[in-house]
């Protein structure tokens, strides 16, 4: 796999420097889904879980699960093997393709599949050690929308809120839902540590069922329950999870330290266990 | 202007059968905006109002208003003149282009601009006469998001809800916001007629400031005020407005007739006035 490359699957081969039609519904309406997968030392971590989630997204969008997932597998099989010793980020994008009135979901040419691969920035391995800060967004996550629970191409709320947070000096942004309950960060799920207990909001609150979230729930005893902002400020530790940056302590929220204000022991221990798992040891 | 064609602006000329990079943020994140403009007998109706709204969308997305709008004008100037006597639909799409981390809004190659042009389906001129039906969606419009007030490429909520409504036998779908108030239809603004009065919800409720909505407010005395679902069921008439289908009576809502259940006189009169305006008479 060559970092910095972008391919489009033409049905038989990967076309480098891929382009897609300006009429593709991915361009016109953000009509599609994606996955971002981290590759460790030549292996795509949790690939099957990512493809399962993609299948669930296809169902929500009323796109055919098969042959779409089979086509994604064919495309992935044609990537060069990952370089050993280099961690990479792979993005798989699937759009509905070309055709139909906006609300006509079935009259298209079939999906467009694009792959992008790049070397991970070093920051990804620093963040779990130093932690990050966040602010709570004024924009609510809309838990009434099925989009809140899939990884669709409708990403603008996340982009704009995180950009605004960074301009104000924060690393990331947290979202509440329309019922004032805590949901997730711009590209991560959220967990809190309170004493010996670990809590995370359930998917019904309007959040993406993260692959790393799932792994963490296998590695530790986690209780899913609705959380409010007050729970965050009173937590001993908070950590954010996603497939690329893994497990990152959230040490400051809206200027207030969480717990001691330093990365905490429960998060560090989980991160160490997770890292071993990714290294296949 | 040739119907059925799709162009991408390359900075100097319109490229037919246009393609854009699979790395374009329009594809990756739905990171861009669009306008759909109706052309009557060789003239794009309300072009300046559409470009003003596009400029407002660019500001919300923190994209440069200029030279982007100037580039759109250059691209439009290179379209063949519209055929006299044929009504066309023109879509202008502007994405943020290629580059940057998702939340880095300023590090791109500059916008991608695409134009699509097609002959209007005849249905567009039938709907104002026969009216349409709708159901109220379970998905709420998120008025806390700035996206609710611009024409961004994040269209999936509209597409999915309207498709679901059509599968259930309705023509369209209406959205309430998170405060249970009426907002708009999937691609139209909404007005109600109650006695001699006409009402429409204000933009702050979480709706697109429609160009046809604006024209209607110039043609008639309209009061902007929050509306609840009960106001809809008790209305004498309801009509939906957008640039393509113009002014369409909503005669049935969730199976209940609105007023008499036939297109009403206030809507018909407004439509007649609007049509004259579009024909330049």
Average pLDDT over residues B193-216: 98
Q: Which of B14-18, B95-99, B113-117, B169-173 has the lowest mean pLDDT?
A: B14-18
Please determine, for the modelled complex, whether the ipTM score is greater than 0.85.
yes
* pTM, 2 dp: 0.95
pLDDT at B84: 66
Chain-chain contact of A155 with B29 (C-beta, under 8 angstroms):
yes
The nearest alpha carbon in chain A to B105 belongs to A163
Chain-chain contact of B159 with A103 (C-beta, under 8 angstroms):
yes
The nearest alpha carbon in chain B to A9 belongs to B22
Beta-bridge partners for B191: B239
- Comparing CA positions, the residue from B249, B281, B280 lying closest to residue B266 is B249
Chain-chain contact of A139 with B144 (C-beta, under 8 angstroms):
yes
Q: Are B152 and A156 in contact (CB under 8 A)?
A: yes
- Comparing CA positions, the residue from A47, A38, A110, A34 lying closest to residue A77 is A47
Chain-chain contact of A61 with B156 (C-beta, under 8 angstroms):
yes
A154 → closest Cβ in B93, B102, B154: B154
Q: Binning pLDDT at 50, 70 and 90, where does residue B2 land? A: low
Residue B86: is its pLDDT beyond 80?
no
Chain-chain contact of A102 with B187 (C-beta, under 8 angstroms):
yes
Rounded CA separation B269/B281 (Å) = 16
pLDDT at A100: 86
Rounded CA separation B98/B112 (Å) = 9
Query: What are the residue ranges of helices labelled H in chain B?
Result: 25-29, 47-60, 68-77, 123-130, 156-167, 211-219, 229-233, 265-278
How many Cβ atoms are within 10 Å of B15's Cβ, its own excluded? 14
The nearest alpha carbon in chain A to B160 belongs to A103
Cα dihedral A145, A147, A148, A153 sign: negative
Q: Which helix (H) or strand (E) holds A51?
A: helix A47-60
Q: What are phi and psi of A272, to 5 degrees?
A: -65, -45
> Which chain B residues are closer than 8 Å to A60 by Cβ?
160
Q: Are B254 and B172 in contact (CB under 8 A)?
A: no
Chain-chain contact of B138 with A144 (C-beta, under 8 angstroms):
yes
A26 → closest Cβ in B18, B27, B186: B27
Q: Is A175 exposed, middle or buried (0-12, 13-18, 19+ CB in 10 A)?
A: buried
Cα angle, residue B82 at apex, residues B77 and B85 outer, rounded to 5°: 160
Give every CB contact of residue A98 below 8 A, 6+ residues apart in sequence: A21, A23, A24, A25, A108, A109
pLDDT > 70 fraction of chain B, expressed in percent and rounded = 95
> Which chain A residues are closer than 8 Å to B146 by Cβ?
139, 160
pLDDT at B265: 97
pLDDT at A23: 94
A157 → closest Cβ in B145, B166, B186: B145
The nearest alpha carbon in chain B to A154 belongs to B154
> Which contacts of B103-106 are long-range, i.e. CB under 8 A and separated by 24 or more positions?
B103/A158, B103/A159, B103/A162, B103/A163, B103/A166, B103/A186, B104/A163, B105/A159, B105/A160, B105/A163, B105/B61, B105/B62, B105/B63, B106/B62
pLDDT at A174: 98
Average pLDDT over residues B28-39: 97
Q: Binning pLDDT at 50, 70 and 90, where does residue B80 land? A: confident
How many Cβ atoms are within 10 Å of B81's Cβ, its own excluded? 8
Chain-chain contact of B156 with A147 (C-beta, under 8 angstroms):
yes
Q: Binning pLDDT at 50, 70 and 90, where does residue B278 land? A: very high
Residue B1: is its pLDDT beyond 70?
no
pLDDT at A126: 86
Provide block-wise average pLDDT over 10 residues at a time, chain A (281 residues).
78 92 96 96 92 98 96 92 77 95 86 92 80 98 98 98 97 98 98 97 98 98 98 98 96 98 97 93 54
Size of interface A-B (CB pairs under 8 A): 173
* Omega before A67 within 30 of 0, i.e. cis: yes
Q: Is A24 exposed, middle or buried (0-12, 13-18, 19+ CB in 10 A)?
A: buried
How many Cβ atoms are within 10 Å of A126's Cβ, its own excluded? 12
Chain-chain contact of B102 with A147 (C-beta, under 8 angstroms):
no
Residue B83: is its pLDDT beyond 80?
no
Chain-chain contact of B139 with A144 (C-beta, under 8 angstroms):
yes
């Amino acid at each position: 796999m060559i970092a910095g490359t972008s391919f489009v699957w033409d049905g038989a081969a990967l076309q480098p420097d891929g382009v897609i039609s300006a009429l593709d519904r991915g361009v016109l309406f953000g009509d599609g889904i994606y996955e971002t997968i981290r590759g460790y030392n030549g292996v795509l971590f949790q690939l099957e879980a990512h493809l399962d989630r993609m299948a669930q997204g296809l169902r929500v969008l009323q796109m055919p699960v098969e042959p779409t997932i089979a086509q994604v597998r064919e495309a992935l099989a044609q990537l060069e093997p990952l370089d050993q010793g280099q961690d990479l980020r792979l993005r798989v994008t699937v759009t509905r393709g070309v055709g139909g009135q906006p609300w006509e979901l079935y009259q298209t040419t079939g999906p467009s599949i694009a792959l992008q691969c790049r070397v991970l920035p070093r920051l990804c391995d620093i963040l779990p050690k130093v932690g990050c800060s966040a602010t709570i967004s004024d924009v609510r996550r809309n838990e009434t929308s099925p989009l809140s629970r899939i990884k669709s191409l409708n990403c603008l709320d996340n982009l704009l809120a995180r950009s605004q947070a960074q301009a104000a000096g924060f690393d990331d942004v947290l979202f509440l839902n329309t019922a004032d309950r805590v949901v997730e960060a711009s590209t991560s799920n959220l967990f809190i540590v309170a004493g010996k207990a670990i809590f995370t909001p359930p998917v019904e609150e309007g959040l993406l069922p993260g692959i790393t979230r799932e792994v963490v729930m296998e590695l530790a005893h986690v209780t899913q329950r609705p959380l409010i902002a007050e729970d965050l400020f009173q937590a001993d530790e908070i950590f954010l999870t996603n497939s690329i940056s893994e497990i990152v302590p959230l040490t400051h929220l809206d200027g207030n330290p969480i717990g001691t204000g330093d990365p905490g022991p429960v998060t560090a221990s989980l991160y160490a266990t997770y890292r071993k798992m990714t290294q296949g040891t």
